[in-house]
Amino acid sequence: MKMKRTKKERQRLLIETITDNPFVTDDQLAAEFGVSVQTIRLDRMELAIPELRERIKDVAAKNYENEVKALPLDEVIGEIIDIELDKRALSIFDVKEEHVFQRNGIARGHHLFAQANSLAVAVINDDLALTVKSNVVFVKPVKAGDRVVTKAVVRGQNNDKNRTYIDVHSTVDNEVVFKGEFEMFRTKGVGETK
Amino acid sequence: MKMKRTKKERQRLLIETITDNPFVTDDQLAAEFGVSVQTIRLDRMELAIPELRERIKDVAAKNYENEVKALPLDEVIGEIIDIELDKRALSIFDVKEEHVFQRNGIARGHHLFAQANSLAVAVINDDLALTVKSNVVFVKPVKAGDRVVTKAVVRGQNNDKNRTYIDVHSTVDNEVVFKGEFEMFRTKGVGETK
DNA sequence: CTGGTATTAGTACCAAGTTCTAATACTAAA
DNA sequence: TTTAGTATTAGAACTTGGTACTAATACCAG
């Protein structure tokens, strides 16, 4: 329609257009910019923009990663690297950009809580473990890029009330950033087979 | 390789294979099952399984939806429906399958904590609000399908220590399921402009 | 032996490209 | 003005991963 300014300008717009809608074909782009399909192809070559199908595949693949990641991430926050059931457990959690406040880059409290809580659940050797009560302290801000190492230690047991008491503390570079006590409910007492 | 039992069996496996890896071509499937490409195509016809590119496009499209959903979900857990800064705030959170333990359908504690924590952060009228300490009680199990209504009320203030104290309680059908106290850090005192 | 289902083969065609060659067009400097 | 150099367009051949359709063959049961 409207005459394109320069090649540069067209290519700038091309990047923009494809970025926010990777599903567009060269034909549509050619029509959009009032140039030939070949010109669009040349532009893509120069800009190293892959063809439609590759772009779609990329989006799909990214989705797939997420899907695979999302499940364990949802299951247990942080990666458990050592565990001795009903005794202690250790997990690490790499803080990423998506876990922090944009404003100040400090991790949202609930992610640290989630890691601790997940670990408290995991350390209990029981089909059913629920958090009943918990007191936590956020000692020091955690930033994106930090690797949080969290340790849960089973402190006590009350088989009559079906309770397990767990202490958790998280560190970054050996400095405590978070600590908490968790009172957990379980269906079976320690040592009971059924 | 191994002779296929029946057509039924092959089609069952076909569905399974494609479901957990939509990126597979008919050629690969034919090799996998030791049949011709045409047979695979016939199978897909009968089973109404779309071709590779359509499958990939579907996955990609789903990603696009997710992207929109994932961001706000990460920003604030639960949807804030009413807020009076430095006074009180209300949010709702619909518990889905992905928030509960598969085993027993009970919501993981950290999701309830996250909703409460997010709300405590949100109610504070400050650029920077961080959780310092919190005591929480999980009163009653929450199930998938439940709508959790969470209310945060600012209880007190200590301008010298830059602290705000917030009570939070969550209900499902007017029954309390979670309550907590949050001690929050903020940079500015209430009423201060800068 | 005759049917019906299952499988395989082969052809034509499509979308959305890549690659390559070649012809124009446009513009600016010699 | 001519010429060089960039930009654009056109066209043909080939590629992937298919669809649609026809036809041949295989296999198994009554």
Helix pair A26-33, A37-47: axis angle to 10 deg: 110
Higher pLDDT, A74 or B152: B152
Whether this prediction's pTM lies above 0.75 is answered by no
Q: Does A65 reach chain B within 8 Å, measured CB to CB?
A: no
Nearest CB partner across the interface for B117, out of A63, A110, A133: A110
Cβ within 8 Å, pair A130-B141: yes
Residue B2 has what pLDDT? 36
pLDDT in tens, A156-179: 989 888 899 999 999 999 899 999
Mean pLDDT of all residues belonging to chain B = 84
Task: Say yes or no to pLDDT of A184 above 60.
Answer: yes
Nearest CB partner across the interface for A138, out of B57, B133, B137: B133
Q: Does B135 reach chain A within 8 Å, measured CB to CB?
A: yes
- What nucleotide is nearest B25 when CA is compared to C1'? D17
Higher pLDDT, B169 or B74: B169
Residue A70 has what pLDDT? 35
Give CA–CA dist A59/B190, Å, rounded.
Answer: 46
Cβ within 8 Å, pair B136-A134: yes
Q: Cβ neighbours of residue B124 under 8 Å, at least 6 residues apart? A: B85, B86, B154, B164, B166, B184, B186
Q: Cβ neighbours of residue B163 under 8 Å, at least 6 residues apart? A: B132, B157, B183, B184, B185, B186
Mean pLDDT of all residues belonging to chain A = 84
Residue B36 beta carbon within 7 A of nucleic strand C = yes
Residue A35 beta carbon within 7 A of nucleic strand D = yes
Task: Say yes or no to pLDDT of B24 above 50.
Answer: yes
pLDDT in tens, A108-131: 888 899 999 989 998 998 877 889
pLDDT in tens, A136-152: 999 999 999 999 999 99
Give CA–CA dist A72/B80, Å, rounded.
Answer: 27
Say if CB B89 and CB B83 are below 8 A apart: yes
Nucleotides on chain D that have an atom closer than 7 A to a protein CB are 7-11, 17-21
pLDDT band, residue B67 (cuts 50/70/90): very low
Cβ within 8 Å, pair A106-B60: no
Q: Does B114 reach chain A within 8 Å, measured CB to CB?
A: yes
Residue B88 beta carbon within 7 A of nucleic strand C = no
pLDDT in tens, B152-170: 999 999 988 899 999 999 9
Residue A65 has what pLDDT? 58
Say if CB A30 and CB A36 are below 8 A apart: yes
Residue A12 beta carbon within 7 A of nucleic strand D = no
Residue B65 has what pLDDT? 53
Say if CB A60 and CB B63 are below 8 A apart: yes
pLDDT band, residue A1 (cuts 50/70/90): very low
What's the CA–C1' distance between A156 and D22, in Å?
77
Give CA–CA dist B39/B29, Å, rounded.
Answer: 10
Tokens linked to B153:
């009320």
pLDDT in tens, A94-106: 888 878 887 778 9
Q: Cβ neighbours of residue B59 under 8 Å, at least 6 residues apart? A: A60, A63, A64, B22
Residue with tokens 């659940």: A121
Give CA–CA dist B14/A153, Å, rounded.
Answer: 47
